Amino acid sequence: MKKSPFDPEIFRELSARTVMFHQAVAERMGLSSADHKCLDLIERHGGEGRITPGRVAELTGLTTGAVTGVLDRLESAGFVWREKDPDDRRQIIVHVRRERLEEFAELFEPIRLAAEAICAEYTAAELERIMSFTRKCIEATTRATEALQRTQVESAPAEANLVTVPRGSRSTASFEARRGVAALMLGAASVGEGAHLVRARFEGAPPTLSVDDGVVSYTHPRGSPLDWLRMRSKWVRVALARDVRWAVRIKGGAAKLEADLGALSLSSFDLLGGANDLLLQLGRPEGVVPVRIKGGASTARIQRPRNVPMKLVVHGGVSGLAVDSMKLGSVGGLLEWASPDFEAARDRFELELHGGAADLTLESV
């Protein structure tokens, strides 16, 4: 039997070389390879050069917080800009700066010329078969990716990586993370999950949840500094009961924290020990709700509903500050800002940040 000329090692080599080339291009443009590919998806799938962050999340499979970080970095590097949709002010539209993409075209020019030279060696009929083969490979890769994603979800034990605290009859409670968090998603429980006060789903080593007089203590084993770095890639998802008024307190700092508290009644929020890569989404306040971050913050985005009054006080200076639609840049020392209707409002947020901040965005959505 005649041996097939097909050699799978060639495709492995092509895949590896392609990844290495794209990494080199991304580094030349001051981006990570992941941000570069996100930009490519935005450029190719954005209708008329515009796309929503939600659509970016769908295309990439990233969380909304991760997409926000990607867009922050792309906007800072000058590849995209964001604005509110004039037809729906609740929506954000992402635009690509076409002039910056021309810089990528220059870097890809050697590859384009080489591809043209290679194609010239084949007849039109041969090229059509090659293109058909390539399209089928793309379809097969897409199916394999989707199947792998489904298998990961379906194979995960439904209750194996879950710890809970019973609901009880409390109307107020506190959630305290006492040893810092590496990668925590904090939010409201889904409708119908009222049997628990707190639910925590995790990867790797399990966190510990205990409750004493309405204070839920959350701890996660830290181990060595290397263990702490590994934990940053393993999210813990904590869901708090919706019909309870919560005080949230994070001690020991946060490496990555996404707190979507928009569906919760919040009495206070304290983050002690500093934060890096923070997304805090607030709901409508009841009375005066203090939000305090001590120890500094880097790459922090704090969102509140439209028309909700807020006051901001920063001790220690801030760089890369944006408030609503205003980009204020850098401010040294003490900074105080309040929305126009703050003083007269009964329901409002008071945000206080100690230790300075870098890349701080405060916005109404």
Q: Could you tell me which CATH class the domain 8-121 is placed in?
A: mainly alpha
Rounded average pLDDT per 10-residue block, the chain, 365 residues: 70 83 84 83 72 78 72 88 74 84 85 91 93 89 69 47 81 90 87 73 80 87 46 74 93 90 94 90 94 90 91 88 80 85 93 89 87
Rounded CA-CA distance 310/304 in Å is: 9
pLDDT at 243: 86
Residue 265 confidence (pLDDT): 93
Contact 175, 218 (CB under 8 A): yes
Residues in the chain: 365
Q: Which residue, among 261, 233, 234, 229, has the nearest Cα to 245 in the 3D structure? A: 261
Q: According to the model, what pLDDT value does residue 118 have?
A: 92
The pLDDT assigned to 148 comes to 64
Structure tokens at 243: 């019909």
Longest distance between any two alpha carbons in the chain, whole Å: 87
Predicted confidence at residue 230, as pLDDT, reads 47
pLDDT at 96: 87
Question: Would you state the pLDDT for residue 141?
Answer: 82
Q: What is the C-alpha separation between 34 and 49, in angstroms, rounded? A: 20
Measuring CA to CA, which residue among 84, 110, 94 is closest to residue 54?
94
SS in 3 state form for the chain?
Answer: CCCCCCCHHHHHHHHHHHHHHHHHHHHHCCCCHHHHHHHHHHHHHCECCEECHHHHHHHHCCCHHHHHHHHHHHHHCCCEEEEEECCEEEEEEEEECHHHHHHHHHHHHHHHHHHHHHHCCCCHHHHHHHHHHHHHHHHHHHHHHHHHHHHHHHHCCCCCCEEEEECCCCCEEEEEECCCEEEEEEEECCCCCCCEEEEEECCCCCCEEEEECCEEEEECCCCCHHHHHHHCCCCEEEEECCCCEEEEEEECCEEEEEEEECCCEEEEEEEECCEEEEEEEECCCCCEEEEEEECCEEEEEEEECCCCCEEEEEECCEEEEEECCEEEEEECCEEEEECCCCCCCCCEEEEEEECCEEEEEEEEC
Domain ranges of the chain: 8-121, 162-364
